[in-house]
Structure 1
Amino acid sequence: MTGEQPGETSFAPVTGTQLAYDVCGEGSPLILIHGGLLDRRMWDEHVLVFAESFRVVRYDVRGYGESQMPNILYSDAQDLAELLGVLGIQKAVVLGLSMGSAIALDFTLNYPHMVETLLLAAPTISGYKMTSAEMRQRWQALVSAVKANDRTRLFDLWANDPMMPQAQEYPAAHQRYRELLSEYSFVHPKRRRMPLPFQAWGGMRRSFVGGLGGIRRRHALICSCIVDSQMKTMV
């Protein structure tokens, strides 16, 4: 399954549901995991650039975009492993943004043999509690808007958050985020399996941090593009 143009959606069977995905390009596999409140379309500005050097797979996380979320116990990391199995991918470069970075980290902890390179943009960590009172307050306001299915309030809070690119600086990105958020599913994970504890990274440090120099040389394209993508892509 290589060489498809972005937008040609396929569905991969995983535990209890199907994940929507598309594939573009040839070469070593590169997996793109989108941020929260969004879906795989957030990579529209990047996928063709990445596809010049990689076989790019982007997918909708369970409950987002075109991927459904039945009421069963599940794991985002296991979903990704099963997706790669369907595609015949044994090892890949994994790139996650925000929520997607947490999934990428959990995947790496559970399936380290399947990760060639781990790339994180605006990373978050599953199960890591916020220590800043200001951040907790801002997050609680977002959670309240999500629970109320208040799309207008959600956009106002999230798109105007100090961490996000502002409309006056990046008007195109701001508008694109509004378009994607307008289709947010408001499907909330209720039966997600708890990931491995944060302390589990202690045993992984040597394996991944020790090879960063080679990663930068081999995948300079990704490193340079991610700097720019953080200025254009939300969540």
Structure 2
Amino acid sequence: MVLLHSGVCDRRMWDPQWTALTAAGYRVIRPDLRGFGLSPVADGPYSDAGDVAELLRALGVERAAVAASSYGGRVALELAASRPELVAALALLCPAVPGHVPGPELRSFAEREDALLAAGDLDGAVELNVETFLGPEAGAEARDQVRVMQRRAFEVQLAAAEQFPQNRPEADLARIAAPCLAVSGAHDVPDFREIAAGLPERLPRARHVELAWAGHLPSLERPAEVTELLLDFLRVTVPPAQANLSH
């Protein structure tokens, strides 16, 4: 079982799910992508999906289920499209998708974030992400968690002398045969709601569920409910007895 974090978080966003998935019999990998958490930025051209594939190879994992949030969803789709033999199932929470052209609200967010960072207002940029990506039911703990993780990502990435481009793999989603659960939040940015809702038209074994209470980070907003949603999906698609060796 591989857990891929969103672009405003790091591996710590999966703390509740990590414990529950392990208790259910899964062995779990939850990496920090480059420039997040404990992972430094890349020192040359790279691919997040390629990094995940190499991690699986290094651990001797031939096939695994992948649960992913937001940007991690894009990485999961790139991995499943470029290396379909590696991915047994996909659970995508408010995912991004390769080739998406941002809509007005997402463009406006990116412009405001860029302006705050250019002005050196790290606090303002962190709060913008908290307010944009957490739904109305998110409590103080979830908001503090996002503040800590997003600030860490900004600090690591802004301190880098150089940002190297990604060599993104070709992502023909038609190659993805794995079963897919695509989850959206009713209070999320429209882009991500539309992406999740549209995946059943692009993936032959995908189904969509919208959470009426959720923003962009449902696994932090209602951890127990999302954990059960993931476990229900995994018990059918990849029962624990089939789980691969992982760390």
Give the aligned partner of residue 30 of structure 2: 58
Q: Could you tell me which of 204, 216, 229 is aligned with 2:175?
A: 204
- What's the TM-score once normalised by structure 2's chain length? 0.66
SS of corresponding position for 1:165: coil
**Higher strand share goes to which structure?**
1
Question: Is contact 1:165-1:232 (8 Å) kept?
Answer: no
Structure 1 70/178 Cα, relative in aligned 2: closer, same or farther at 3 Å? closer
Q: CA deviation at 1:176?
A: 1.7
Could you give the per-residue CA deviations for residues 145-172 of structure 1, whole angstroms, max 9, x where no partner exists? Answer: 34555321112211112x4224x75222
The 5 A counterparts of 1:213-224 are none
Could you give the per-residue CA deviations for residues 186-232 of structure 1, whole angstroms, max 9, x where no partner exists? Answer: 417532113425xx22x33666444458xxxxxxxxxxxxx962634
Q: Distance in 1 between matches of 2:12 and 2:178?
A: 32
Structure 1 127/211 Cα, relative in aligned 2: closer, same or farther at 3 Å? closer
Give the aligned partner of residue 35 of structure 1: 6
Work out whether 1:72 is the aligned partner of 2:72: no
Q: RMSD across aligned C-alpha pairs, in angstroms?
A: 2.5
Q: Distance in 1 between matches of 2:91 and 2:83?
A: 15
The 5 A counterparts of 1:84-233 are 84-130=56-102, 132-147=103-118, 150-161=121-132, 163-166=133-136, 169-184=138-153, 185-187=155-157, 189-196=163-170, 200-201=172-173, 203-204=174-175, 208=179, 209-211=203-205, 229=219, 231-232=221-222
Higher RCO structure (Cα 8 Å, ≥6 apart): 2
Q: CA deviation at 1:133?
A: 1.9
SS of corresponding position for 2:27: strand
Q: CA deviation at 1:72?
A: 0.8
User: Which residues of structure 1 form unaligned runs of 5+?
Assistant: 1-29, 214-226
Structure 1 182/69 Cα, relative in aligned 2: closer, same or farther at 3 Å? closer
Question: Is contact 1:165-1:173 (8 Å) kept?
Answer: no
Q: Give aligned-pair identity as a percent.
A: 26
User: Which residues of structure 2 form unaligned runs of 5+?
Assistant: 180-202, 208-216, 224-247
Q: Distance in 1 between matches of 2:89 and 2:79?
A: 12
Q: Distance in 2 between matches of 1:70 and 1:102?
A: 18
Aligned length: 185
